[in-house]
């Protein structure tokens, strides 16, 4: 005689619910803070955000020294047993400088692409970001979104049937910048470090070195590395950077294969609109007659005072000769 199979009735609760309190269950759902050895935590690979020892860093150190680390850093575990920093590079640096061996951490389980996106999003909340930081951060997140999309179409947003939103448009929605502006920033990743430093100086405003604005910098990013090096040498000698129109002219010559020392000098030596005439002295000549340990931002003052002193001597000599 065949026995009828008993029908299983789903239970709308877990048996564990009888033996744990709601408070315990809520606690299990929270992310746990753990103390991790700082020496086991590596910085995020090619981390695009600078960690600088400035007044803000000193304030952070003082806060940690007085109150402890109030906000845990966020890390993920690597395959080799070590950890990778996702959010908290400045806090880690401060703790290391204070001689702390352990640091409070929250450990997240994220894929490479998820980790990149999380790292960028966490750091983009800073108030002040340099153009180079935006450039490499946008590029990293853009590449991660492209890679995720190619692996799994589940995360793709669709605006109309068969119309997929581009990754730069997704970035635009999240970051509040136009897709075109995001593309412009990402072009900066093609600049050599020496020129990118001058682009950052448009925000830092260090008077001892020239600055390059974003628009000409985007055009210069299309130059070959060797051509960018020639341009950087010109800037170093003359302390003059290209205007937007000059940058476009350099780009056009480069695309035609006609950019050289001579053609670059011809473009750069043209006087810019409203440019105040400047007296130029080649840097190698100047350094032959000024103190070798003189700071760059003191050179102009030194030269003016030297000229003033020499002029007085000439006038005195002229009076004595009469």
The number of angstroms, rounded, from the C-alpha of 204 to the middle of its chain's C-alpha atoms is 13
Q: Which domain holds residue 60?
A: 18-109
User: What pLDDT, on a 0 to 100 scale, did the predictor assign at position 163?
Assistant: 39
Helical (H) or strand (E) element with 253: helix 244-255
Rounded CA-CA distance 164/170 in Å is 10
Question: Do 199 and 233 have their domain in common?
Answer: yes
**Do 181 and 198 reside in the same domain of the chain?**
no
Per-chain mean pLDDT for the chain: 84
The residue out of 109, 129, 159 marking a domain boundary is 109
243 and 297 belong to one structural domain: no
Residue 9, in any domain of the structure: no
Q: How far is CA 218 from CA 122, 128, 133, in A?
A: 26, 21, 15
Whole-structure pTM value: 0.71
Count of domains forming the chain: 4
Q: Does residue 247 sit in helix, strand or coil?
A: helix
| Secondary structure element (H or E) that encloses residue 142, with its range | helix 131-151
On whether residue 7 sits in a domain, the answer given is no
Residue 27 confidence (pLDDT) = 52
Count CB neighbours of 291 within 10 A.
10
290 and 257 share a domain?
Answer: no
pLDDT of residue 266: 95
- Cross-strand bridge partners of residue 57: none
In a domain, 166, yes or no: yes
**How do beta strands 73-77 and 102-108 pair?**
parallel
> Which is nearest to 94 in space by CA: 125, 123, 129, 51?
51
Same domain, 135 and 79: no
Q: Which parts of the chain sit beneath pLDDT 50?
A: 1, 5, 13, 15, 18, 25, 154-164, 274-276
The answer on 141 and 203 residing in a single domain is no
How far apart are the C-alpha atoms of 49 and 51, rounded to whole Å?
7
Among the three residues 155, 190, 225, which one is the final residue of a domain in this structure?
Answer: 190
- Beta-carbon contacts of residue 144 (< 8 Å; ≥ 6 apart): 112, 113, 114, 116, 117, 120
Q: Which of 109, 125, 158 finishes a domain?
A: 109
In tens, the pLDDT along 190-233 reads: 999 999 999 999 999 998 899 999 999 999 999 999 999 999 99
Q: If DSSP codes are grouped into helix, strand and coil, which group holds residue 85?
A: strand
């Amino acid at each position: 005689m065949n026995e009828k199979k008993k029908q299983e009735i789903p239970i709308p609760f877990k048996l564990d619910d009888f033996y744990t309190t709601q408070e315990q269950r809520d606690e299990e759902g929270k992310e746990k803070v753990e103390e991790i050895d700082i020496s086991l935590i590596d910085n995020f690979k090619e981390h695009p955000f600078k960690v600088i020892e400035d007044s803000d860093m000193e304030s952070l150190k003082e806060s940690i020294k007085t109150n402890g680390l109030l906000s845990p850093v966020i890390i993920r575990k690597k395959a080799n047993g070590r950890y990778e920093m996702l959010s908290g590079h400045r806090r880690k640096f401060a703790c290391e400088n204070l001689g702390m061996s352990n640091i409070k951490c929250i450990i997240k389980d994220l894929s490479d692409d998820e980790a990149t996106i999380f790292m960028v999003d966490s750091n983009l909340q800073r108030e002040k970001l340099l153009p180079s930081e935006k450039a490499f951060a946008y590029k990293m997140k853009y590449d991660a979104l492209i890679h995720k999309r190619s692996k799994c179409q589940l995360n793709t947003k669709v605006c109309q049937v068969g119309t997929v939103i581009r990754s730069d448009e997704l970035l635009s929605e999240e970051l509040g910048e136009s897709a075109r502006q995001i593309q412009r920033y990402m072009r900066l990743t093609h600049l050599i470090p020496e020129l990118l430093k001058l682009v950052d100086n448009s925000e830092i405003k260090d008077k001892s070195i020239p600055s390059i604005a974003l628009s000409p910098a985007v055009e210069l990013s299309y130059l070959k590395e060797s051509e960018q090096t020639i341009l950087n040498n010109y800037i170093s000698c003359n302390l003059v950077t290209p205007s937007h129109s000059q940058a476009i002219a350099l780009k056009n010559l480069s695309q035609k294969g006609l950019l050289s020392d001579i053609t670059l000098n011809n473009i750069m030596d043209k006087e810019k609109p409203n440019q105040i005439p400047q007296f130029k002295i080649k840097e190698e000549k100047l350094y032959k007659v000024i103190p070798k340990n003189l700071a760059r931002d003191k050179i102009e003052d030194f030269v003016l005072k030297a000229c003033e002193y020499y002029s007085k001597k000439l006038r005195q000599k002229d009076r004595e000769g009469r």
